[in-house]
Structure 1
């Protein structure tokens, strides 16, 4: 999916990631995690005539689409955006702990049933927000169940996860995400000769031979994220 949907990604991975992979997209605030995921979902679903779902747990649907429009990106009909906060109000489940967490799982399952075999990809924004729906440390042990439920959808799933600059994937959130997921992609910035450059780095991708180097990326109006080439530091 990634090689087929992100321009230049063939420079990083020798082949596509396995179907039903769960990929964490990590990075600091403003590193275009959401844009990267939406680029992948939009391009892939349009090329393959399939459907995808993007669940936003933090921003409203309108705010998310406005942010995309600001970089010249329009939402295609092949990707449906679900605004969790709006749906939560309609369902009157606010503050009911795990019921909110289960809503996320239930939403994806229902979408899968409606679309069937044309359902190909999921975007969840973000893992940090998802954890706020789980009340206790004991409940957080259900992360394994959540990941297995995602795999049962037989769709490639991207999950955004925000980290602070001083932290690494080794101490991200609960710490177990790096072992449960199939792939880890980091987006960030690096300063080179007083200029700030954006980069992408595939830190992990099960079943695929890939480069571990940082690659330069660009945000193209109307197209989204594109890989330019290996970053020379």
Structure 2
């Protein structure tokens, strides 16, 4: 999926990731995690005449689409955006004060049944927000079953993770989460000769021969994220 949906990704991966892979897209604020996932879903579903869903747990749908619009990106009909902020408000009105973690899983399963075999990919924004739905450390075992449910759907899944410091990374990936993910893609910035450069690095991708070097990335107006080439430091 990644080689065919993100321009230049063939420089990094020799083959496509297996279907139903779960890929963590982590990075600092403003590193285009959401744009990367949206680019992958939009491009792939349009190429393959399939369907995908983008689940936003933090930012509301209108603001999310507005941000994408500012980069010349429009939502294709092949992508449905689900806004759980709105769902939380409905739940509160109906006496459900918190959005249950299990409810998220069930909702995705129902959506998959509606779409059928044309459902190929999903993006979840973000892992940080998912953790707010888990009340206790014991309940973190729910994440294992969540990942298993995602794999059972047969769709390639991207999950964004906001990273502020290295400690944040350790906290987010505490326990088995790092091992449950089939792939980890890191987005960030580096300063080279007083200029800030954006980079992408595939830290892990099961079933794929890939480079682990940092690659320069940029946003192409109307196209989304593109890999330019190896980052020269």
Instruction: Please report the TM-score for the alignment, with normalisation by the length of structure 2.
Output: 0.95
Q: Distance in 2 between matches of 1:167 and 1:14?
A: 32
Q: Distance in 2 between matches of 1:9 and 1:203?
A: 14
Q: Return the offset for 1:106.
A: 1.4
Kindly tell me: are residues 194 and 165 of structure 1, through their superposed partners in 2, closer, same or farther at Cα, counting changes over 3 Å? Answer: farther
> After TM superposition, which residue ranges in structure 1, 4 or more long, deviate above 2 angstroms?
88-96, 165-176
Alignment of 1:45-60 (within 5 A): 45-60=45-60
For residue 100 of structure 2, give the secondary structure of its aligned residue in structure 1.
helix
What do the CA deviations read for 1:197-217 (whole angstroms, capped 9, x no partner)?
A: 000000000000000000000
Counterpart for residue 199 of structure 1: 199
Q: Distance in 1 between matches of 2:56 and 2:107?
A: 12
Count residues with an aligned counterpart: 231
Kindly indicate whether the alpha-carbon contact (under 8 Å) linking 2:128 and 2:172 is maintained by their aligned counterparts in 1. no
Counterpart for residue 85 of structure 2: 85
Counterpart for residue 63 of structure 1: 63
Kindly tell me: are residues 95 and 168 of structure 1, through their superposed partners in 2, closer, same or farther at Cα, counting changes over 3 Å? Answer: closer
Instruction: For structure 2, list consecutive stretches of 5 or more residues without a partner in the other structure.
Output: none
What do the CA deviations read for 1:162-207 (whole angstroms, capped 9, x no partner)?
A: 1113447455343432111000000000000000000000000000
For residue 212 of structure 2, give the secondary structure of its aligned residue in structure 1.
coil
Kindly tell me: are residues 86 and 171 of structure 1, through their superposed partners in 2, closer, same or farther at Cα, counting changes over 3 Å? Answer: closer
Kindly tell me: are residues 170 and 133 of structure 1, through their superposed partners in 2, closer, same or farther at Cα, counting changes over 3 Å? Answer: closer
Counterpart for residue 164 of structure 1: 164
Match of 1:95 among 97, 108, 130: 97
Counterpart for residue 177 of structure 1: 177
Q: Return the offset for 1:219.
A: 0.4
Alignment of 1:1-233 (within 5 A): 1-91=1-91, 92=94, 94-96=96-98, 100-167=100-167, 169-233=169-233
RMSD: 1.4
Q: Which moved more, 1:167-176 or 1:40-49?
A: 167-176
Instruction: For structure 1, list consecutive stretches of 5 or more residues without a partner in the other structure.
Output: none
Q: Which moved more, 1:161-170 or 1:74-83?
A: 161-170
Q: Distance in 1 between matches of 2:69 and 2:224?
A: 11
Instruction: Please report the TM-score for the alignment, with normalisation by the length of structure 1.
Output: 0.95
